Chains A and B, each alone.
Chain A
Amino acid sequence: MTALLETRGVWQRFGGLVANSDVSISVGRGEIVGLIGPNGAGKSTLFNLIAGVLPPTQGSILFDGEDVTQMPAAQRCQRGVGRTFQVVKSFETMTVIDNVIVGALVRNTVMREARRKAHEVLEFTGLAARADVLASDLVPAEKRRLEVARALATEPKLLLLDEVLTGLTPTEAQTGVALVRKVRDTGITVLMVEHVMEIVMPLVDRAIVLDLGKVLVEGKPADVVRDPKVIKAYLGDRHAVGA
């Protein structure tokens, strides 16, 4: 079976800065893939290219067998790409349920069905008790969860999670991990950008390490963390020798 998502020789330049150079990755159906790398590695840029925030300078992006390189974000969402934002972007003046209904409207044109779908998703993500609260009144961990809920309501094939586990307490992070597993169990493919290695590594099936805009290593999480190139990228030359 073909990969769900594939990037082919993707470049992104911002003026003189090369954020992504010749990035070719693929994500198979049903996988949880982690996209990791030190600060400034180009993770967020690649993420935005996949989500359709902007088209790449060069290269192509294929989703579900279709070339989506020039397709704007809203259409990609209709095709089945859901995403969260690193800096949460809730609809602050709307209630939690209304936030999720916006997502549910992609596949449900009748309001009653969209509302039912939104309640279902809130139940699934554990936000049901907060349905009628304004999004601005949620605590940070709940806001992250709402981001996931909203994206899930669009019934994506691929869910892009941008640092949803960062900045949470260990307990919150563990419930987050459980949620990601639950999402995958419903058949949704997950691509996640994450910083916190000790949380991500046990969760993902495969890790792709970016450094300086290029794919450095990819493979099983256990192998990736031992790879000298990865240790060097994160910690510097001295530590790589001993590894």
Chain B
Amino acid sequence: MDKEFAARRRRDLIIAAVLAGIAALTPLFVKDVVVQNILILTLMYAGLSQSWNILSGYCGQISLGHALYFGLGAYTTELLFTKFGVLPWFGMLAGGVVSALIAMGLGYPFFRLRGHYFVIATIVIAEIGLLLFHNWDWAGAAMGITIPIRGDSWLKFQFLRTKLPYFYFALALCCLAWFVTWWLEDSKWGFWWRAVKDNPDAAESLGVDVFNSKMGAAAVSAFLVAVGGSFYAQFVSYIDPESVMGFQFSLLMALPAVLGGIGTLWGPVLGAAILIPLTELTRFKFGGSGRGVDLIVYGTLIVLISLALPRGLLSLFSRPKKTGAAR
């Protein structure tokens, strides 16, 4: 039985490596900038959703306020860069740390809430964050921050003539988030998180530190999402409160995981691979005149999938359940 389990873990790792390898080669064949753009966003959201999945999928603390950490990552990086000349790479790290600390600070009061009350709190907090940035003059308020263009440079992580560096960074982020999940899945934290999700009282009775489990999950999740936010800010080179902290980011992190299979290793990647191209393509095809069409399409899709496969698309692939004889 142990061997079977170890083999499955190895198999996951090999599949991931192969997929990452294939993904890394796609720019050789895909020269179209629009398609490259969609690929970059898909990889980014896969990584973000994978990070969201750590807190909300594994640990069961459903957050619809992760846009806050995404925005904090973006703002920390760009404020440090434009005001103090700190390179985005350090800003990225700083953004991650700031977000992780804020996630734990918020967790301190809010992890006492259970179920729906927690979800509502996350939405409200993210909205408050959005309002604060709207009114914070030093951070550009509603005008936002335009990232000064200094020419293509890895050091400053900005590229005008090619999207490839962004593509590879998004791929790296996605791989990192996946690998962190894979690694934590078979660790004390992974088991603690799933126990906390399924039954906090029973977890407590088995020596699980429920509160700190949630804090740990929140910190890891917020850190990775903030790195994604930093990346996005560099990628679009202009940020304002709505464009990095709007509620739609919270949704776009949650939906791929929910669609693919919440609390699973492969769910977020699978969900993002379907949802993001679909969103981007419909948006591209129907342009400004049909702004609602993409929303209608994936709204319908999610309703259908949640009706047919409540455990996500991934449940299509799950092995037939073993039912050994009862003793």
Q: How far is the CA of A106 from the CA of B191 in the complex (A)?
A: 11
* B321 in contact with A101 (CB, 8 Å): no
Q: Does B210 belong to the interface (CB within 8 Å)? A: yes
Question: Which of A115, A130, A153 is in CB contact (< 8 Å) with B326?
Answer: A130
Residues of A within 8 A of B316 (CB): none
* A105 in contact with B188 (CB, 8 Å): yes
Which residue of B has the minimal Cβ distance to A107? Answer: B207
Provided the pairs A93-B198, A94-B198 are in contact, do residues A133 and B323 lie with their beta carbons within 8 angstroms? yes
Which residue of A has the minimal Cβ distance to B204? Answer: A73
Q: How far is the CA of A131 from the CA of B4 in the complex (A)?
A: 12
Interface residues of B in 260-277 (CB under 8 A from A): 263
Interface residues of A in 111-164 (CB under 8 A from B): 111-112, 114-116, 119, 126-127, 129-134, 137, 139, 142, 150-151, 153-154
* B321 in contact with A137 (CB, 8 Å): yes
Which residue of A has the minimal Cβ distance to B311? Answer: A93
* A90 in contact with B202 (CB, 8 Å): yes
* B206 in contact with A150 (CB, 8 Å): yes
Q: Does B155 belong to the interface (CB within 8 Å)? A: no
Q: Closest approach, in angstroms, between the C-beta of A145 and any C-beta of chain B?
A: 9
Binds B, one of A32-40, A77-85, A204-212: A77-85
Residues of A within 8 A of B205 (CB): 51, 73-74, 77, 82-83, 85, 151
Question: Which of B1, B192, B195, B202 is in CB contact (< 8 Å) with A97?
Answer: B1
* B207 in contact with A98 (CB, 8 Å): no
Residues of A within 8 A of B323 (CB): 133, 137
Question: Which of B192, B197, B263 is in CB contact (< 8 Å) with A105?
Answer: B192
* A133 in contact with B322 (CB, 8 Å): yes
Q: Does B201 belong to the interface (CB within 8 Å)? A: yes
Residues of A within 8 A of B326 (CB): 130, 139, 142
Provided the pairs A93-B194, A94-B195, A111-B188 are in contact, do residues A154 and B201 lie with their beta carbons within 8 angstroms? no
Q: How far is the CA of A137 from the CA of B320 in the complex (A)?
A: 13
Q: How far is the CA of A137 from the CA of B2 in the complex (A)?
A: 21
Residues of B within 8 A of A82 (CB): 205
Residues of A within 8 A of B1 (CB): 97, 119, 131-132
Residues of B within 8 A of A83 (CB): 205
Q: How far is the CA of A81 from the CA of B324 in the complex (A)?
A: 32
* B327 in contact with A127 (CB, 8 Å): yes
Q: Closest approach, in angstroms, between the C-beta of A229 and any C-beta of chain B?
A: 33
Interface residues of B in 302-325 (CB under 8 A from A): 321-325
Which residue of A has the minimal Cβ distance to B208? Answer: A74
Q: Does A13 belong to the interface (CB within 8 Å)? A: no
Q: Closest approach, in angstroms, between the C-beta of B29 and any C-beta of chain A?
A: 40
Question: Which of A74, A93, A131 is in CB contact (< 8 Å) with B207?
Answer: A74
* B195 in contact with A91 (CB, 8 Å): yes
Provided the pairs A74-B207, A78-B207 are in contact, do residues A89 and B327 lie with their beta carbons within 8 angstroms? no
Q: How far is the CA of A82 from the CA of B202 in the complex (A)?
A: 11
Q: Does B203 belong to the interface (CB within 8 Å)? A: yes
Q: Does A103 belong to the interface (CB within 8 Å)? A: yes
Q: Does B153 belong to the interface (CB within 8 Å)? A: no
* B322 in contact with A132 (CB, 8 Å): yes
Q: Does A72 belong to the interface (CB within 8 Å)? A: yes
Encoded as 1 (CB less than 8 Å from any B CB) or 0, chain A from 187 to 223 comes to 0000000000000000000000000000000000000
Q: How far is the CA of A73 from the CA of B326 in the complex (A)?
A: 32
Question: Which of A90, A112, A153 is in CB contact (< 8 Å) with B199?
Answer: A90
Q: How far is the CA of A51 from the CA of B202 in the complex (A)?
A: 11
* A102 in contact with B2 (CB, 8 Å): no
* B202 in contact with A91 (CB, 8 Å): yes
Which residue of A has the minimal Cβ distance to B4? Answer: A132
Which residue of B has the minimal Cβ distance to A103? Answer: B206
Q: Does B187 belong to the interface (CB within 8 Å)? A: yes
Q: How far is the CA of A112 from the CA of B188 in the complex (A)?
A: 11
Q: Does A109 belong to the interface (CB within 8 Å)? A: yes
* A102 in contact with B322 (CB, 8 Å): no
Write 21 A-B pairs (CB below 8 A) sorted by A numbering: A74-B208, A77-B204, A77-B207, A85-B205, A89-B202, A90-B202, A91-B199, A93-B198, A97-B1, A101-B191, A102-B208, A103-B206, A105-B207, A111-B187, A111-B188, A112-B2, A137-B321, A137-B323, A139-B326, A150-B206, A154-B206
Name B residues whose Cβ lies closer than 8 Å to a Cβ of A. Answer: 1-2, 5, 186-188, 191-192, 194-195, 197-199, 201-210, 263, 321-327
Q: Which 4 A-B pairs have the closest CB atoms?
A: A77-B207, A91-B198, A89-B202, A106-B207
